[in-house]
Structure 1
Amino acid sequence: MLRCCVFLAALMLVSLTTLEAHADRRVALVIGNSQYREIPALKNPDGDAEDISNTFRQAGFEVFAAKDLTRLQFEERFRNYLAAADGADLAVVYYSGHGFQIGGENFLIPVDASLRDAADMEVQAIKVDDILRQLRSKSKIQMIILDACRNDPFPRKDYWLRDQLIVADGSGLAQVTGSQNTLIAFATEPGAVAYDGSGALSPFSSSFSRRALAPNQEVRSVMAAVRRDVVKATNGKQVPWENSSLIDDVVLMRGTEQPVPPPPDTEQGQQVAERGIQVAAAAEAIGNRDVGVPVGVGPVPLKLDFPARDASVSLKLARYPATGTLSLPDRVLSPQSSLSAAEVDKLRYEPQIGSAAPIEVGFDIRAGNAARQTTMKLSPNVDPCDQAAGEPLDLQGIVPGRLPNEIGGGAVEACEAAVKSYPDIARFRYELGRALLASGKIDEARQAIQEAADKGHIRAQFALGSIASSGAAVDFTKANDLYSKASDRGDPYAMAVWGRALFNGLGVQRDTGKGLDFLLQAAAMGHIDAMKELAVIFKEGRNGVPADPVRALAFLKAGMERQDVYSMGILGLPARSAPVVMACKVPPKVITKIKVVRVPVSKPETVTPTIPTVPEVKPMPTETGRASWSGGSQYSGAARTRGGKTAEGKSEGKSEGKGDGEGDGGGTGSDG
């Protein structure tokens, strides 16, 4: 059976300095989508993804594994992965499932996609270039491998991309070019389809998972071996292909030396008894322990206070953590790793971002003929500062986040403690700035945000743009420069603001195409205000972008699925009485039917019968004047609840995020 294979399997970042003794940070995102709801299900992706996940775990990667993701679930999972990939030495993204090309762009299809309308591609599918762009801003080296069904399974063939309606006219995936230090691999050549195979795995996945574990093999040699295997297995009908601009050598499976357990002891008597006592004491020291480990602060020393120091005592991992990574200062451990007694006190664990469940780790402890198994528990915990002042859609954050008016008492103290404990983590300084701002300490907030930006926090750079665009000393040139830089580094808040400025020519020369691209990228990352801005553009038709009510409705529906009050109001849906789910959380139930209500107008619009009727979409509310800076336009004005009311309880028909004026520059903002 033919299968369209898009092996988006590995965006790999790596800076290999093989002579330097340190534990590289290597992460992998592995997704298998099989159980599609509105198109034919696929047989192999779940098995392919499980096999590839095991391969990367054995090679010492932290693996983010997921199956059958909806669009919203993908957004959340990808954000967690990006936070882990920030500054990593090697990162991998693997995707197996439906995927196809249109207009030279490759798209991956979540399990809840229907793609019935021309506008659905932008709000339901995942653009491969968007994934690449985010990883380039995080990593030193990228590698993409796509193993997905490439035959277009949808009856519709024309979709909106930017400002054009494009007709799909090719099979397979389009060629992807990467920047320097990038390797992009496909299960077959661009424009061709790949075979599913007769076994549980596709020919490509089966070969890759085996060849990737060859010790000390450079990845281009691995791919050449995979190509030979697949060509032979398919009698030349399928030829894997890759495009490489790698400069550094990339090795997946390191041939590191592991401590070798000593042979069984042939001596009897006192020595055997002493070693038995050592093993028992070692097992007791580790067994039944529950060690709390903070999330998002890097590898954390476990400080096990291991009692055995005898060189004859060794440990082998019997149960590797299901998530996160175990490491020593000089290497990352894999499921097959062993370590000496002297190394146990150096053992470290880094929890996986987004995973809160306790993790069990098992060891086989041996000394001569004496042996015992033991298990310990590692419990990830989120720092109180993250809980109190984390921000939505912060790609260097680790929590869904809070809106400004949701930051309560105690946040300043929690974040001051976090900064003191982890002075090198920029995220805590930015969250301290948010907490100080919420408590009215503007000058201190400004200083904390500046320090966070100086340490590389991208969202802090956006916040500095908000500072420059408001208050008494307004500098839109500086603000737009900061928005531009933060956009280039992938921040969705910045992309929404900078895109709006470019599209409308606010304080900068108008560039409609580039502005539209940034707005679409921000919306793809789950930014609600970007979706609302796009709905206005497509409803009215602006700056040469043709009006399309169906396209406007698609973005309003996307906002509604993320429980946005403004979008719900336009669509005639009541806001929930309970607190609304954050934009970056997956709602427990997605509404599938919408009642569209017309907004009364003085003169009825003439609607062609073939075009669906869409309610009037009004521009997002804007401020009429400027107050002194209080955290940028995203925080200006009265604090807002998610139910559309001010802190004073006055009902408003406005969105959570507000622009701060279109006529005087690019200083717009949003709550995300």
Structure 2
Amino acid sequence: MPHWSVRSGFNPAALLGALICGLLALLLAAQAAAAPRVALVLGNAAYSNVPALDNPVNDAEDMTAALRDLGFQVILGLDGDQGQMRALIDQFGKAAETADVALFYYAGHAFQVSDQNYLVPRDFRADSLDRATARTVALNEALGAMAKAPGVKIVLLDACGDNPLQLSGSGSGLARIGSPADFLIAYATQPGAVAFDGAGRNGTFTEALLSHIHTPAQDIGEMMIAVRKDVMARTGGQQIPWDASALTRRFRFADGPPTASPETLFYQVSVRAADPALLRLYLQRYPNGSHVGEVLALLSQDPARSGQARRSMGPDADGAAGEQLWDLARRSRLTPLFENYIRTYPDGPHIDEARRMLAELSSDADPGPARRCELLATHPRDGTETTPGVSYELLAQNAVEAMRSCAEASRLHPRQAKYVALLARATAAAGLRADAVALYIQAAERGDLRAMVSLALLKETGDGVATDPAGALALYEKAAAAGSADAAINLSVTLLDSPRPKDQERAITLMQQASQAGSPIATFNLGVLAQEGRFGDPGDARTLFERAAREGEPRGHRAAAVLLDEGRGIPRDASRAAVQLLLGVASDDGSLLHELTEQSENWTPETLSALQRRLARVGLYQGPTDGTPGPELGQALELWRNGGLSAAALSG
């Protein structure tokens, strides 16, 4: 049976197809009155009278570490009772009065009554509704403490959403509330819905936050889109993070120049480390990645010779390699990356945190059936930083184990249809077509978006079922309405070919919907439409192409570079074009490197000169910076692609 996935492909001139019983802990780094960034992080898990939770303590501790790394002074409370939680909120309120950024994070039980949200302390007891709410901490108490902060105010709520009361008059999930001026309020799931505990160390929402919060140059709005995309992928669309923003200025957790994609950074870290284990891990995480051919070639070389060659690929005085390795480790939570950091940088700036995380991860050696199911059977287009997608061919090799794990996961987590969908994929890989189709139908009927899209593709092609174009279209419509970017793209591409203006208008709306859901393909397609004058303004195309590249479509870098190089719809900017070319060379399948060395006439001398100067800045290029290509430029670009990427070449 073929690999079931959304349409994919590339034509430079066309659209892309769819594709927290601990002690109370207070950690305050300095006097909060002097802090531009302050945060209160609360995590409650060891409840006395309602069901305990698995992840919130881990979530709070890991969020604290991330925020400190980003310059926040953090007040941390773990398993606090009502009095302790209120005391910390009062302390936080005083600290926030002079803060440029005030952030409140909560993980644990919460519920709503009459459109008011209540956070559940460790000592909470439920008997009557009136007495129950009196034993909580109202979310409004935390919002009130933040109100005097003069700057940006961010609220992140990873409440499990299960109603611990079981009393008439209280609702599941949290109530939607307005966002006052300069507030951004983000929920783990849409108002009134239930969020799921994660299958690993962290809750699903917090895991996604931790994977994206360190991304340089990413506005918080873009970050929340990336978080939403990951959570939807991990839950089959059953959990959709929701946020409301009334921010009056842009905010980024991490500043700095743009970087290459996580895949490219993983490749470069592996090459610099000259570590075959990391190279093999790259293949596991990115089976269809842009660097698979190069990794296979490296693995076939003599380790001593190839390792020495890779270690000599340019200066690294600014510690860029160590920072790249650390960034990947904290985002992916992969044990081999923490081990490599500790071994390679024993005196590195992040060594203590690396050891803590490695100890935490090592204590969870057995991931359990749900996590094993995810690791064995996740569709490549649903892969995240912490859960790589698995190719159909690799899944087929492990189909029996995947089926066993997914069947047990679906039994243990009956509300989560995604495990049925993953079981369907594993069953298909085992060659049991009829059983797989029945499971896809079951998962689709229960609301799993990936199952809907996969089933629609089967109906389109007649693979294992009767050909049913109308049935496929109905499934795409249902999945798109529920938030599937892949379904929206497939519908959009079909409608764009329609002669009816209303169809084309809806096609663009669907493409926007998919882009807003975090699809880099949809964002790229909007860039193409803008460039053609069919969407927005032609001047928007560069921004869309660059965003698509940041979200994971490397060919967006070349598209943006073309516009900057030629001044097509925007002012010419050779320096910015060179940055996009460097990012593209590092990220794509090698096509741009070939073009710059074999078809350099496609680019203006001004852009080539800017490219030469940036490579010379980091010691990779020693030739003239006159815009004339030559062997030195080709060699420099090869070094840049294969381990020489440095932020210094991208800044300024």
TM range (shorter): 0.3 to 0.5
The structure in which a higher percent of residues are strand is: 1
TM-score (ref. length: structure 2): 0.37
More helix by share: 2
